[in-house]
Every structure is written in C-alpha cells, then in structure tokens.
Amino acid sequence: MTIRKVGVVGAGTMGQGIAEMLAFKGLDVELVERSPEQAQQSLQQIANSLDKQIEKWALTQAEKKLVLSRIRPVDMLSGLEECEIVIETITEDLDLKKTIFEELDRSCNPDVILASNTSTLSLTELASVTAHPERVIGMHFVYPVIKTNLVEIVRGLKTSDTTFGKTKHFVEQVIEKKGVMVFESPGFVTTRLICLFINEALHVLEEGVASAEDIDSAMRIGYSFQNGPFEMADRFGLDAVLAALERMFREYGELKYRPSIVLKKMVRAGHLGVKTGGGFFKYDKDGDRA
Ligand code: NAD
C-alpha cells in the first residue's frame, strides 16, 4: 500500500501537530479548516512551531520551506479526492463529528480509510452514519504529536481487518510510530489514565495539600515525568480535559471520573491553557512558560 497524500480535517492543537508530522515524513497533506482564514492561521502556527525547531538547530530554513510546501489548505468536498487516508481531528463534539463523517463518506472513494483522532467518542457511533462502517477506525495521537511516538489504533465494532491492517502499516511503517491496538472504550488507554491522574492532582490542589507548581515539581522530579499534571493539562487544553472527564463520567457512571470544580471554573473563565496564554501557568505566544 503506497500512501502519498493524507487529509487532515481540523487544524487546532492536534491537527497542526499531525499535519506538521506528516509533512515532515514526506507526505502531502490536504488541510481542511472551518474557513480559509482559520486555515491560514493554523499554517502560521505550524510555521511558528518549525521556527522553534530551527532555533534549537533541529531543522534548517530549507527543510522548513519543504515541510510547509507539502501542506495545502483545501475545501472539504473537493480537496480530499486523492487522499488515501483522511484523519478527522476537529473539536470533540459527537454531532459535529457525525456530520463530518457523513460528508467524508459521500466524498471519498470507499477504499479510503476514514480515521478519527477522537479521545473519548465511539468509533462505532461515528461509523454508523456512513455507508461503509468497515473503513472507519480510530487513530489516537498523543500530544505533542511530533515528539510522542505512540498511536492508539482503535477498532470499532465494524472496523474490518483490512482497515486495521492498512492503518497499522501506515502507523508503523510510514510515519514510524508505535501502534497499540485498543478495542473501543471511552478514553481508550491513554486518555482514561492521564485524565484520572490530572483530576486527582486537582483534588490535591483543592484540598490545599500543595501548590500547582509544587505538585508538578514533585511528579516531574520524583518520577521523571516530562511535565507535571498541571502543565500537561495546560498543554492538552483544559476544555479538552474537562470534555474527556465529563464523557467518561457519563459513560462509566463512576464518581472517580467526576471533573474537579476548579477545572470547570477555569474553563468557564476561558483559561484554557497554552492556547489562550494561560491556564494553571502563563505562556508566551510560542507556548513557552512565561
Ligand atoms: P482544538 O479545539 O485545538 O482544535 C479543533 C479544531 O477543529 C479547531 O481549529 C476548529 O476550528 C476545527 N473545526 C471545528 N469544526 C470544524 C469543521 N466543521 N471543519 C473543519 N474544522 C473544524 O482541539 P484539539 O485539542 O486539537 O482536539 C481535536 C481532536 O483531537 C478531539 O477529538 C480531541 O479529543 C482529540 N485529541 C486531543 C488531544 C489533546 O491533547 N488536545 C490529544 C489526543 C486527541
């Protein structure tokens, strides 16, 4: 199976990382956003991310140009015709994603794999709005996509062996990440465990046991985590963490998934983390701690 062109629908935190990683691996990327202006903004963010790598001597200006030249903003219906795989990574909203899958199913050939990067939603439910549920699969990347070498490959009830095999080949041979097979379940493995970790850290904070800074230091230094739970939450997006916890609380019905009140307050106040310049900590426009 030769894969040259991949569609990415949604270019926020994850879509930008996925598009950058795919282009870096030499693939052509067709990028779909809500509007041309939004797509340009996402491309600018990708350029900023590449500039940061140049600053660290990890990339040259010529490589940056090459990577950017492989990413093309396109229109949803006409732009994805030549893609072998389409990865949907829009906002975590079931109805919105269902509309996108209906549209993708109509506009892409039946042998094109339709993957979703959803963290908590049911692939079987997304597949149910298509005429070809066997080609729908989960490809769950971990933030930051460029640096994290893992993809959870999630099988829905009707995902075919062929779709799974092609996806595994794509993940392990083409983009060279470790693929872990997961059966559909809210939060899969990574979101389920990491969101519980963040939620428990929030309870520790609420109880006044330690400050956010000290809780992060304890986990980072004590257990060699790259980031502590609060910086992790800021980088994932507090809205994304809240949405994942609420979904798992609804689906599993267990109190351990009930989101902390502090998290809800922060989201209501619009303090969503790195993408809004502040969450538990403050960040500059490049996403570094201010
Ligand atoms: P985000 O809010 O940063 O980005 C979502 C993007 O989707 C926005 O740019 C928005 O404009 C775009 N969008 C919304 N509706 C659209 C439409 N109809 N057509 C085209 N684009 C549209 O969200 P995110 O954090 O990047 O999350 C995206 C997906 O990835 C979600 O399903 C989430 O569960 C999953 N995910 C997130 C993380 C994380 O750490 N943030 C990790 C793994 C998976």
Walk me through the domains of the chain, giving residue ranges and CATH numbers: 5-183 (3.40.50.720), 190-276 (1.10.1040.10)
Res. 1: pLDDT tops 80: no
Q: How does pLDDT run across 91-132, given as a tens digit for each residue? A: 989 999 999 999 999 999 999 999 999 998 999 999 999 999
Given this model, what pLDDT does residue 79 score? 85
Q: Tell me the whole-structure pTM to 2 decimals.
A: 0.93
Given this model, what pLDDT does residue 81 score? 87
**Pocket lining: 187 vs ligand 1, CB cutoff 6 Å:** no
Given this model, what pLDDT does residue 158 score? 97
Given this model, what pLDDT does residue 200 score? 98
Res. 76: pLDDT tops 90: no
**Pocket lining: 92 vs ligand 1, CB cutoff 6 Å:** yes
Given this model, what pLDDT does residue 219 score? 98
**Pocket lining: 116 vs ligand 1, CB cutoff 6 Å:** no
**3-state DSSP of the chain:** CCCCEEEEECCCHHHHHHHHHHHHCCCEEEEECCCHHHHHHHHHHHHHHHHHHHHCCCCCHHHHHHHHHCEEECCCCCCCCCCCEEEECCCCCHHHHHHHHHHHHHHCCCCCEEEECCCCCCHHHHHCCCCCHHHEEEEEECCCCCCCCEEEEEECCCCCHHHHHHHHHHHHHHCCCEEEEEECCCCCCHHHHHHHHHHHHHHHHHCCCCCHHHHHHHHHHHHCCCCCHHHHHHHHCHHHHHHHHHHHHHHHCCHHHCCCHHHHHHHHCCCCEHHHCECCCEECCCCCEC
Given this model, what pLDDT does residue 2 score? 85
Given this model, what pLDDT does residue 285 score? 83
Pocket test for ligand 1, best of 87, 91, 104, 267 (most atoms within 8 A of CB): 91
Res. 78: pLDDT tops 80: no
Q: How does pLDDT run across 233-288, given as a tens digit for each residue? A: 999 999 999 999 999 999 999 999 999 999 999 999 999 999 999 999 999 988 89
Confidence of residue 75 (pLDDT cuts 50, 70, 90): confident
**Pocket lining: 117 vs ligand 1, CB cutoff 6 Å:** yes
Query: What is the CA(159)–ligand 1 centre distance, in A?
Result: 23
Over range 30-41, report the average pLDDT. Answer: 96
Tokens of 195: 């969101």
Query: What is the CA(269)–ligand 1 centre distance, in A?
Result: 20
Res. 182: pLDDT tops 90: yes
Res. 77: pLDDT tops 80: no
Given this model, what pLDDT does residue 84 score? 95
**Pocket lining: 49 vs ligand 1, CB cutoff 6 Å:** no
Over range 32-41, report the average pLDDT. Answer: 96
Res. 170: pLDDT tops 80: yes
